[in-house]
Every structure is written in C-alpha cells, then in structure tokens.
Amino acid sequence: MPVDRDTFVEIMASYPAGVAVVTTLDVDGTPRGLTTTAVSSVSAEPPLLLVCVDLTSRTLPALRAGGRFVVNFLREGRSELARVFASKAEDKFERVEWRATEFGMPVLVADALAWAECVTVHEIEPGDHVVLLGQVEDGAGAVDDDAPLMYYRRSWGVWKPASRQAPTREIPALEVSGQDLLWEGAEL
C-alpha cells in the first residue's frame, strides 16, 4: 500500500533540488513557462534529460504541441522569478529578459546559470504528472562563480563552493563530485 499524499510530499520536500524554469512557445508563438524542481539527467549518450509537469499545468498544452522546450536552471537570487513562473499569472514573461534560440525557444538570459534546449522524444503519464523525455540539442553550462538557486523543505537557498582559502572549521557540508558546497541559508 502506498504512503498517503502528505507523507509523500514531506519525503520529497526533504530532498534539496535545483530550481528550473521550463519555457516553450504555444501555437501562436506566445512564450509560456513553469517552475519545477523535477528535472534530471537521464543519459549522456545520447544527451537526454527528463522534466515532470503537472497534468493541470497551463503550460503543458504548449509543451505537447510544440515538442520543444528549454530548461533554464536558475541562478541564486531568483526566487521571486521562480514564484512568478509557479503562479497562474497570464503573462509570466512581462518583466523577464529573454532571447530566442535558433528555433525560437525562450532562454532566460539574465536569470539562468545554465540552460538546455530539448526536443521531446518520449512522454509518459505515470500518475498526476507527465514525464517529458527531452534530447538536448543546444545549451550552455554555468560559469565558475555562478551558484544555483535551490529549494529545500519549502525554502529557497543557495549552495556555493567552499572557499579553498578559508580556515578549516567543522560545519555540515555536502560533498558533490569531490567539492564541498555550503548551504548559505534561506533566500527571501
């Protein structure tokens, strides 16, 4: 028997995740987008990632119709933007700087520390979300001193690389790929 919804939500809130805005164009060329933490790499050869989208999302019809999307991995300090794209606002792009890719997809140039433009190659509906499997066709990675916006237990925060010159001190740290990252606390 599965756990109840509240227990499941609490379990998942206990897992820190990067924050992304998934963008696309609807059939009339209007940019659409949503905030998500449900993004994961799937394969390096071929380069695939997945994005989970609520079946009730108003952006989902555009994602399905166009078959192409951009995952914009947000940089620190962009929690307000994440809230806008998580809302039901009609024009989420009203105050957002973006540029079009070769295929017209919106990239949030000032707000994304990295981005990946994808073509949908598969879609499954395992429950109340759809999983879009995207093949990455273009994109750019983060610059060394950029830090990602993170979400953990319903609060915004950022992990920054620990200074290599800082004095040694005993603090909780997370080791990722051999590099210590420090939680910098809630972002307001």
Task: Give the pLDDT of residue 182.
Answer: 55
The DSSP annotation for 94-159 comes to: TT---EE-TT--EE-TTTEEEEEEEEEEEEE--SSEEEEEEEEEEEE---TT--BEEEETTEEEEE
* Residue bearing tokens 């206990």: 14
Instruction: Centre a 10 Å sphere on the Cβ of residue 126 and count the other Cβ atoms it contains.
Output: 8
pLDDT for 160: 74
Is residue 188's pLDDT more than 60?
Answer: no
The model carries a pTM of 0.85
Q: How confident is the model at residue 174 (pLDDT cuts 50, 70, 90)?
A: very low
25 and 105 Cβ atoms separated by less than 8 Å = yes
Q: Which CATH number fits domain 5-158: 2.40.50.100, 2.30.110.10, 3.40.50.300, 3.30.559.10?
A: 2.30.110.10
Residue ranges covered by each domain of the chain:
5-158
User: Could you report the per-residue pLDDT of 134-158, keeping only the tens digit for each?
Assistant: 999 999 998 767 899 999 988 898 8
Q: What is the mean pLDDT of residues 29-33?
A: 97
pLDDT tier, 184 (very low <50, low <70, confident <90, very high otherwise): low
**Which amino acid, one-letter code, is at 182?**
L
* pLDDT at residue number 171: 52
Q: Look at residue 185 and tell me whether its pLDDT is greater than 70.
A: no
- Is the model's pLDDT at 108 over the cut of 50? yes
Read off the tokens for 83. Answer: 């809230």
